[in-house]
Structure 1
Amino acid sequence: MADYDNEQIKDVEVGIIGGGSMGGGMTLLFSSPASSNSVVGFFDYDKEQAEALLKRARDEDDVPAEHVHGFSSAEKLLKAFKPNEPRIIVFSLPHGKPVDDVLSDLLPKMDKGDIIIDCGNEWYEDTNRRLGEAAEKGIHYIGCGVSGGYQAARRGPSMSAGGDKEAYDKVEHLLAKWAAKDKDGKPCVAYLGPGGSGNYVKMIHNGIEHAQLSILCEIWSLLRHQAGLSNDEIADIFESWNAEGRLSDNYLIEIGYKSLRFKKGDGIFNKKGVVEDIADKVVQDVDNTEGTGTWSVAEMATRHFAAPAMAASHCLRVISARRGERDRVLENLKVPQPKTDQPFVKDVPAFVEDCRKATYAGILGAFVQGLGIITKASDEEKWGVSLETCLAIWRAGCIVRSGGIADLLQPLLAKDPQCKNTLFIPEIAHELSGTYDGLKNVCRVALETDAVAPALAVTLDWLKQCGGKELPTNFQEMQMDYFGHHQYDLKSENAPDPVKGPHHTEFAPA
């Protein structure tokens, strides 16, 4: 029977600290015979949350209640482990200070050879630091990104591990049982490299996720308002995209069409769909409960690798969050509002096809941009992360699951594992160029109707910039040389590398 603070328990095999939606799901997953069938002990500071998790363990048919034990302190949890075996402790905690607080309390009580697996969304440099702190005590530390939301935490997530390779080898058999399985039954977990590489890859996974979320909400809005389609009609369109082709097996498109068909929700009953009554504000970045989007955009800038879809999606989320400020600014700006009173699009089937191409451009572009950041970081940090492996563990149990796109990217990256920019691969560049006209038409409709479509717009411009023979930045370079003596290259010199040029014109004497 799932119990609390039972001092007789001495057979715990895995401990979990954090019993929230993710930690609670993993507690039930790990204890299930369908997974590792482990005896799990957990500790959470919130006793009500702990009791709720124990009730779930008692109520769920596929969880042996005698496999789940709650404890009121980390010390009591540690004492409940099987004797004479390395203890395995899994963290499922909010990022930052909560982890440091738990770690400072835990390390003095742990034994040499014990293993910590941090399964939270963590800033990779914090993981690097904690690895060192744990190693000083002889404790192994793994930073392991976990994706897929609370449903995957319960049924099997995608897991990106990094850090202590010796420790990973010791727990790999457990991780393989816990992780989601792809269509061929392979576990969606891998050791990606030393240090904070696992948390880093999960962070960029979330940046890719945010870009895709923006692309899809913009496409939904254009189909709903500019094409005049109902939510049920849009759901049917999304379902057809998800059934075949490069947008097939896409998690966000799948949950998009499923949720669009909901007419009832918490506080909502609307025959047109619950989406009509949900406030247009995403607050998780602004309230700091979700750090990975902010970190991804910061890494884009720090690593000097352009990922405009991530940046645009982040800005949209941040602006949306401050609904009260938007209402005040609305009165001052008085800009035209999106034209939604009557459908703008005349040829709806053609526009739907353009939207499919635009969606493909945005989602594939987000992968290209995110994988580029991972490559840059891996080279600079000397992690040796394999992009092909990243795509393999994103096949199931994660938010950016996109089977059709993985079928394109994974074999190409397996052939060219040292590729520094996936747009160097002709097949990938060709796929994006094939979306250009459709994406351009969708952006034209958005522009002409004053619709909000930032991630789509920057994806189009990103393609123009990446594929542009000439950019207008020679004018910018001239001005920078004028005021800052920044110097420049000459077109005739064909200088391809991002290094300072040798030439300076004295436009005005000092």
Structure 2
Amino acid sequence: MSRQQVYIVMGVSGVGKTTIGKMLAEELNIPFFDADDYHPVANVEKMKAGIPLQDDDRYEWLENLGIKIREWQKTGGAVLACSALKEKYRTQLQSLPQEHLKWIFLHSDYEVIHGRISGREGHYFKPELLQSQYETLELPSYGIHIDVDQSPEQIINEIMENIQKKMEIGLFGLGVMGKSLALNMASKGFRVSIYNRHVDKIEVDIAKNFTAENPESNFRGFDDLKAFVESLERPRNILLMVNAGKVVDFVIEDLLKHLDEGDLIIDGGNSHYRDTIRREKELKEKGILFMGAGISGGEEGARKGPSIMPGGPESSYDRVGPILEKIAAKDKKGNPCCTYVGPDGSGHFVKMVHNGIEYGEMQLIAETYHLLRYHSDAEPEEIGALFQEWNKEMQSYLLEISIEILRKKENGDLVLDQILDAAKQKGTGGWSTNAALELGVPLDTISAAVMTRNISGMKEQRAAAAKKYDHKFSEKGNLKELQNALFEAYKASGIVNHAIGFDLLRAASEEYNWRLNLSEIARIWTNGCIIRSKLMEDLVVKFKDHREHLLMQAEIVQKISGYKKSLTGMVGEALNAGFPVPVMSAAANYLLSFTAEQSSANMIQAQRDYFGAHTYQRKDKPRGEFFHTQWNPEI
């Protein structure tokens, strides 16, 4: 029952902390301790003399109790009776994560407690000190609140009912990801309340049915929002798994009617980072905490362990981090693929960039497959075998699933050939492009992948244009002759795509003072998420040891220098044969631009100065000086 928890029974003197604490310890079969037994002699003498203790008197006492609390938790749990009247005292005692420390607040009217104290004999606490305790008491907004104007047996029954029934976290929204995350949390031993709205004939008994379908899991299902919120331990932690956009605001508005100060909302969807910043500020004014947590891994990852990217107040992460870390995937060293990313909307920004890199990697595989299939006339089985060989080195999740796709048949036919070639994008790829424009950072491969999805959606126009232009693939290639060069081009493009994504993270970190740890971000992307790969594992070390742009690191320079000819050659061959390779082309163009000391931008600056007098800098003058030329004397 105790699950290695420490229960602190608190309240003013006379509420029965010792009596109830001992009874609770016996009920839970864990030891009982009284905080008064740990007071220094000087404190006891003061109280015997009727002198109230000051904060300075309590500091060392509370520090020692905090140490004891940690020891008791490690040895199986305990019950501690302690007045803990002020919030700062309770903060000092809160030396364990929320999941291991539970507060039980015993209280009643002043007259009730005064009558109890007046009847006690031989206790050093004097009745006249009770008034000062009531004046000092700061009511906690969390924990189990029990009115003690009833029998000890009734009090214990009420406490046990609360301990048994209150749930540790609430999950709002039972879509595919929501259901999988709920199962994940329950499988890790957490008590989870789940909620899904009720809509007649559309969404009926979703939460209750899900609970019934998983009777072995520690769920409570609700379609009543108030009951859902009230089922949670205070301060409450609620994870939202709903669609990004206005829906999140509507959900928050509904939740606010039932929340208390100090409750925490975690947005686990793909919300825009600016919306997350706005929501955190708005809710802070109402006393509600808010975090944006990117979650990657799809249905399987959510169930077995995703990569989680939480951002917001660090104090909020301290509270809910132990839950998130326990349900996250584990890296090769067994550490959770979850870390505190940074303040504001940084968690959702990092998830947005993750998805941007994902767009680039998916398109790169798609165009590589397309070129092999229709340029070299390779059969899907051959391409799958080739990808499998490549993946011995790449260890890429996306390449792995592409192999399975190339082998999946339905009634003897390849399922892939039955899928319409019109891709969709949910917004995060486009948001990455917009963010890069705002920050003045190039995003070639990711932007190319987004635009390729957009043009793929123009299916009818493309079909009509193919007829008008009589577009045909030409210049057939030989699989054996091009596969090595294509593999090098694929690897080079992937490195460039990752370099571009991480450069956007670096720029955002500097602009918004987020202090993002690129090595740690790469680490939590090594498992659970969609873009996990051997390259990502290498980046953990590369960004830990070096802070410069990825393409400037010596080992990467050596690799890219070896792949460069294959990349540009493969792009040229593909285009000449009539095959679009947008991400591969973007990677080649970025690489050539990045490594070119002399660019074409001097002509751009001259043109801007000609028509708009925008001025320019000169090579033969100090940087920072600007000049204008009267290009056409007649103007």
Q: Shared topology, TM-score over 0.5? A: yes
Q: Does 1:386 find its partner at 2:517?
A: yes
Alignment of 1:91-490 (within 5 A): 91-244=240-393, 247=394, 249-264=395-410, 269-271=411-413, 273-283=414-424, 285=425, 290-332=426-468, 334=469, 336-339=471-474, 344-346=476-478, 348-402=479-533, 404-417=534-547, 419=548, 421-490=549-618
Matches within 5 A, 1:18-97: 18-32=173-187, 35-45=188-198, 51=205, 55=209, 57-59=211-213, 64-65=216-217, 67-82=218-233, 85-97=234-246
Tell me, what secondary structure is at the counterpart of 2:170?
strand
Q: 2:180 touches 2:303 (CA, 8 Å); kept in 1?
A: yes
The answer on whether the counterparts of 1:115 and 1:167 sit within 8 Å (CA) in structure 2 is yes
Q: Using a 3 Å threshold, how does the CA distance of structure 1 residues 270 and 277 change in structure 2: closer, same or farther?
A: farther
| Equivalent residues of 2:171, 2:192 under 8 A apart | no
Q: Is 1:17 aligned with 2:172?
A: yes
TM-score using structure 2 length: 0.71
Take 2:193 and 2:508, find their aligned partners in 1: how far apart are those partners? Answer: 36
Shift of 1:50: 6.4
Letter in structure 2 aligned against 1:309: T
Write the distance in 1 (CA, Å) between the matches of 2:422 and 2:574: 20
Whole-angstrom CA distance in 2 between matches of 1:155 and 1:376:
33
- The residue matched to 1:302 in structure 2 has which SS? helix
CA pair 431-51 structure 1, distance change in 2 beyond 3 A: farther
Greater relative contact order (Cα 8 A, min sep 6): structure 1 or 2?
1
% same residue: 31
Residue 331 (structure 1) shift? 4.4
- On the 8 A contact 2:609/2:628 being kept in 1, the answer is no
The 1:76/1:365 distance shift into structure 2, 3 A limit, reads same
- Conserved 8 A contact 2:613-2:628: no
State the Cα distance separating 1:49 from its structure 2 match.
Answer: 5.2
Distance 1:150 1:46 in 2: 24
What code does the residue aligned with 1:412 have? Answer: K
Q: Find the aligned partners of 2:530 and 2:174 in 1 and give their Cα distance.
A: 22
Equivalent position amino acid for 2:531 in 1: V
For residue 501 of structure 1, what is the aligned residue in structure 2? 626
Aligned pair in 2 of structure 1 residues 46, 14: CA closer, same or farther (>3 Å)?
A: farther
Check the 8 A contact 1:357/1:435 in 2, yes or no. yes
Is the contact between residue 309 and residue 341 of structure 2 (CA under 8 Å) also seen in structure 1? yes
Closer/same/farther in 2, CA of residues 200 and 207 from structure 1, 3 Å limit:
same
Shift of the 57–230 alpha-carbon distance from structure 1 to 2, 3 Å rule, reads: farther
Deviation at residue 298 of structure 1 after TM alignment: 0.8
Q: Does the C-alpha gap of structure 1 residues 335 and 369 become closer, same or farther in structure 2, counting only changes over 3 Å?
A: farther
| 1:56 CA drift (Å) | 5.1
Deviations 1:28-56 (CA, angstroms, capped at 9, x unpaired): 11111xx2433332233557656456555
Measure, in 1, the Cα distance between the counterparts of 2:211 and 2:483: 46
Q: Which runs of 5+ in 2 are unaligned?
A: 1-161
Q: Which amino acid aligns with 1:277?
A: Q
What is the aligned partner in structure 1 of residue 75 from structure 2? none
**1:396–1:412 distance in 2 versus 1, CA, 3 Å:** same
Q: Distance in 1 between matches of 2:502 and 2:322?
A: 28
Whether contact under 8 Å (2:186, 2:219) holds in the other structure is yes
Distance 2:526 2:199 in 1: 34
Letter in 2 for 1:301: L
How many angstroms apart in 2 are the aligned matches of 1:118 and 1:302? 24
Give the Å deviation of 1:159. 0.4
CA distance in 1, matches of 2:574, 2:301: 35
Q: What displacement does 1:350 show? A: 3.6
Contact 1:144 1:161 (8 Å CA) reproduced: yes
Secondary structure at the residue paired with 2:431?
A: helix
Alpha-carbon distance in 2 for matches of 1:89, 1:231: 46
Instruction: Work out whether residues 210 and 221 of structure 2, in 8 Å CA contact, stay in contact via their aligned partners in 1.
Output: no
How many Å apart are 1:105 and its aligned residue? 1.4
2: distance between equivalents of 1:465 and 1:455?
15
Task: State how far apart, in whole Å, the 2-side matches of 1:306 and 1:41 are.
Answer: 42
Assess if the C-alpha contact under 8 Å between 2:290 and 2:312 holds in 1: yes
1:357–1:43 distance in 2 versus 1, CA, 3 Å? same
Question: Which segment is superposed worse, 141-150 or 470-479?
Answer: 470-479
Instruction: Say if 2:240 and 2:268, in contact at 8 Å, map to a contact too.
Output: yes
In the alignment, the residues of structure 1 paired with residue 193 and residue 378 of structure 2 have an alpha-carbon distance, to the nearest angstrom, of: 49
Contact 1:36-1:174 within 8 A present in 2 as well = no
Separation in 2 of the partners of 1:93 and 1:278?
28
| Cα pair 1:131 1:195 within 8 Å, conserved | yes
- Where 2:571 maps in the other structure, the secondary structure is helix
**Stretches of 4+ aligned residues off by more than 6 angstroms:** none
Contact 1:27 / 1:42 at 8 angstroms: preserved in 2?
Answer: no
Q: Deviations over 1:408-428 (max 9, x none)?
A: 3221211234x3x32232222
Q: Is the 8 A contact 1:36 1:177 kept in 2?
A: no
Looking at structure 2, the residues matched to 54 and 258 of structure 1 have their Cα atoms a distance apart, in angstroms, of: 35
Return the index of the structure with the highest Cα Rg.
2
Q: Where does residue 5 of structure 1 map in the other structure?
A: none
Q: Return closer, same or farther for 1:408/1:468 CA change in 2, 3 Å cut-off.
A: same
Instruction: Tell me how far apart the structure 2 counterparts of residues 161 and 509 of structure 1 sit (CA, whole Å).
Output: 61
- Deviation of 1:358 after TM superposition, in Å, equals 1.4
Distance 1:487 1:116 in 2: 50
Ranges in structure 1 where 5+ consecutive residues have no aligned partner = 1-7
Taking the aligned partners of 1:379 and 1:151, their CA distance within structure 2 comes to 34
**What is the CA–CA distance in structure 2 between the aligned matches of 1:216 and 1:46, rounded to whole Å?**
41
One-letter amino acid of the structure 1 residue matched with residue 226 of structure 2 = E
Seen in structure 2, the aligned counterparts of structure 1 residues 259 and 422 have a Cα distance that, compared at 3 Å, is same
* Partner-residue secondary structure (3-state), 2:422: coil
Q: Tell me how far apart the structure 1 counterparts of residues 621 and 412 of structure 2 sit (CA, whole Å).
A: 64
Matched residues, number: 473
Aligned-partner Cα distance in 1 for 2:604–2:453:
30
CA-to-partner distance for each residue in 1:101-144, whole Å, 9 max, x for gaps?
01111123201111111100011111001111221122111110
Once the two structures are TM-superposed, the CA of residue 295 in structure 1 deviates from its matched residue by: 0.3
